[in-house]
Amino acid sequence: MSALTLALHDGWVVAKRNLIKIKRIPDLLIFSTIQPIMFVLLFAYVFGGAINVPGGNYREFLMPGIFVQTVAFGAGITAIGLADDLQKGMVDRFRSLPMSRGAVLIGRTTSDLLNNLFVVIIMALTGLIVGWRIHTGLWKGLAGFALLLAFGYAMSWISALIGLSVKSVEVAQSAGFIWMFPLTFLSNAFVPTQTLPAILQPIANWNPISSMVLSLRDLWGNTGLTRPPGIPGEYPIPLALGWIALILIIFVPLSISKYRQAAAR
């Protein structure tokens, strides 16, 4: 059995262990599901009437942003889970087993990807209730969801590095989410970037969150709005794929290296 096959096999075993943990502690899944539903309802019904989106329906403008925000925030679970395993000595136990060293990280990010999938399904149903629709057909609709989950998986590796770098679950919970807020709100997720101050518009347009959101709007047909100039507005899908690849190229090796250091403490 090759090293890669062994790592994938052992990673799936660890992923099942993490999923069983969610089953035994359903509060983890319940609260990770309630938050995006609350965001959808609040923005659609409370702020939706006050925010004007020229040339489009705000609820359809909103949903891709909520989807991307949710999977980005959902990646924070990875940091919390790894910090918890370190604190409780689970990583030391894994080291004593004849298993691949990469299995813990592969299993953690895979289980969080499946958790994100469940949350996305619940969100899609909520979006349909408030008036959101996919106008481009089955395959482009599925392509949008695949791109969304790939982005969530990439973000999990950033959170993995954070979870392995801190010394407690409490710090991981704060550090895993605090950087997400400016990244999400300094984007086109909730308002067109053209409404931001001129100095912030280039940052928002090149933000990976903005690329993802605009890609989903194109794939799902939630368009009809003024687009940002240049590459971010003309090629959002290739740019989003590039961001995903860049994040994985940088943070997978860093996370694996940090895991080896953490396991050797």
Mean pLDDT of 140-150: 95
Q: What is the pTM of this model?
A: 0.88
Q: Which residue has the higher pLDDT, 88 or 265?
A: 88
pLDDT, tens digit, for every residue of 201-251? 999 999 999 999 999 999 998 876 667 878 888 899 999 999 999 999 999
pLDDT, tens digit, for every residue of 108-122? 888 888 888 888 988
Report pLDDT for 226: 67
d(CA 118, CA 139) in angstroms, rounded, equals 20
Mean pLDDT of 123-152: 90
Q: Which residue has the higher pLDDT, 48 or 192?
A: 192
CA distances, 257 to each of 22, 165, 226, 262 (Å): 27, 11, 43, 9
CA angle centred on 100, ends 98 and 106, rounded to 5°: 135
Check pLDDT > 70 for residue 7. no
Report pLDDT for 190: 83
What pLDDT band is residue 4 in, cutting at 50, 70 and 90? low
Report pLDDT for 256: 87
CA dihedral 118, 122, 123, 124 (to 10 degrees): 100
Q: Which residue has the higher pLDDT, 21 or 49?
A: 21
Report pLDDT for 166: 83
